[in-house]
Amino acid sequence: KHTIYITRHGQSEYNLVGKLGGNPPLTEAGKEYARRLAKFAEENVCKDDAGNVRRARLWTSSLQRTILTAEHIPHPIVCDGWQQMATRVYRNLDEIFAGECEGLTYAEIEKLHGSEASLRKMDKIGYRYPRGESYFDLIARLDPLVHELESYEEPVMVISHQAVMRILYSYLVGIDRERAPKLEIPLHTVVKITYDAYNECGFTEERFYLGP
């Protein structure tokens, strides 16, 4: 059995106003999610089904909204002489980079860069923001991480961003990558994926909405 927990960061100041990218802090609701996520991690990720403390890994992006979402998770606890929640910050887990459109809302992109908005509608996976990234670029930078993720026996909790989660989730549960950029990944929800030889899909998926 191999278990991966993936979640977006708690609600950010930009989520509230619909702006893309940037490096905003969390809102009060986002901070509350961080506290609830810590409790969830302590009770689920850091313990096995029998309630015994176990080693786990915690990955965040390099942006403050994922690091702040992880801040209450007790990663320095030592278990068997080993840091219980071995933590890594990966730039490769950062949100898709919108280049010249960073910090804009979709309405502002339509207004200021109308042709860019229609190009993206035609080919969301292949479209590259001016001086930014495309979903194909994102897939390429996530590729080494996916292999690393699958190589660990201990559970891994990944705190990242919507576009990144679309790609990771689709890879883990076998959704065609053409469909991935259009998946809706809700805030304040942990998706648990367990590789399960006894299940005919090869995995089991559970979702935990923690609110608020």
Active site residues: 9, 95
**By the rule CB under 6 A, 162 interacts with ligand G3H:** yes
Q: How far is the CB of 57 from ligand G3H (least distance, A)?
A: 24
Piece of 33-41, 44-52, 141-149, 157-165 that binds ligand G3H (CB under 6 A): 157-165
Report the C-alpha gap between 152 and 135 in whole angstroms.
Answer: 26
Binding residue positions for substrate: 8-15, 65
CA distances from 187 to 29, 129, 145, 147 (A): 11, 24, 22, 25
Report the C-alpha gap between 93 and 160 in whole angstroms.
Answer: 6
Tokens 């090869």 locate to 202
Q: How far is the CB of 122 from ligand G3H (least distance, A)?
A: 14
Q: How far is the CB of 182 from ligand G3H (least distance, A)?
A: 7
Phi-psi bin for 211: left (phi > 0), alpha (psi -120 to 50), beta? left
Q: Which parts of 10-39 interact with ligand G3H (CB under 6 A)?
A: 20-21
Sites of contact with ligand G3H (CB under 6 A): 20-21, 95-96, 161-163, 181
